[in-house]
Amino acid sequence: MPVTFPNETPTYRSARNALLAEEIALRAKVAAVAELRRTLPDGGTVPRNYAFTGRDNARHLLSDLFGDRPTLGIYSFMYKDTPCPMCTSMLDGLNGQVRHFGQRMSFVVVAEAAAETLNDFARGRGWDHLTLLSSAGTGYQHDYHGETDDGAQLPILNVFRKSGEAIRHFWASEGFFADVDGHPRHVDQLWPLWNMLDLTPEGRGEDWFPSLA
């Protein structure tokens, strides 16, 4: 049904209706891309059963991280010496949501920092639902593009699929490496910050980034 708001002008309503049509078209495009993503053929098998380190130096094999779910998401947190403010902002939002999407998939965060360092940081942020593991010494970050050849840290989300004993790569946020104008926005769909700011008259800003508040 048609929607109007108090004291709006015909000019505003006309422009808003045109924008609404574009928003509806975007929704359909997002759904179509998601459907296309789901039709991807099998990705490559994981080369080894990476052993990550958790609290109290507990060992966590990649194969065990799935739990009873067939799908596992792993976010590479840019934290080797200092935590990345951008990654931190995104993970602040995911901490609350992981209880919900965790009903359908498993999810962990890995970084090169030591496990106790990561978990101390998580406690300070109030991340009481995210699982943070150290990838130091595993080779995972290099193999799955969370680290460059010279050791620089990169942010990337990888999704894996387990069938029986086989673990295969399904998808990664490769948009980070795409040749685009401005920030690659490769994980924006997970990040409430940008989605909210895009609804404002000021927008997200050209050069603004969140600080480690």
Provide DSSP, 150-173.
Answer: T--B--EEEEEEEETTEEEEEEE-
Q: What pLDDT is stored for residue 49 in this prediction?
A: 98
The pLDDT of residue 135 is 98
pLDDT over 90 for what percent of the chain? Answer: 79
pLDDT higher than threshold 90 for residue 188: no
Q: What is the pLDDT of residue 196?
A: 85
The domain locations on the chain are 1-39, 51-175
Contacts of 210 (CB under 8 A, 6+ apart): 85, 86, 88, 89, 193
* pLDDT computed for residue 195 by the predictor: 84
Quick one: how many helices (H) and strands (E) in the chain?
A: 6, 7
Structure tokens at 38: 């789901």
Q: State the pLDDT confidence band at 197, using cuts at 50, 70 and 90.
A: confident
CATH label, 51-175, candidates 3.30.450.40, 3.40.50.720, 3.40.30.10, 1.10.3720.10? 3.40.30.10
pLDDT of 165 > 80? The answer is yes
pLDDT tens figures, 3-30: 999 999 999 999 999 999 999 999 999 9
**What does the pLDDT average to over 61-73?**
97
Residue 177 pLDDT greater than 90, yes or no: no
Residues whose CB falls within 8 Å of the CB of residue 130, separated by 6 or more in sequence, listed in order: 91, 94, 95, 98, 107, 108, 109, 122
pLDDT tens per residue across span 89-144: 999 999 999 999 999 999 999 999 999 999 999 999 999 999 999 999 999 999 99
Give every CB contact of residue 21 below 8 A, 6+ residues apart in sequence. none
Where is pLDDT greater, at 47 or 200?
A: 47
Tell which wins on pLDDT, 179 or 201: 201
CA atoms within 13 A on the CB side of 191: 18
pLDDT at 213 over 90: no
pTM above 0.85, yes or no: yes
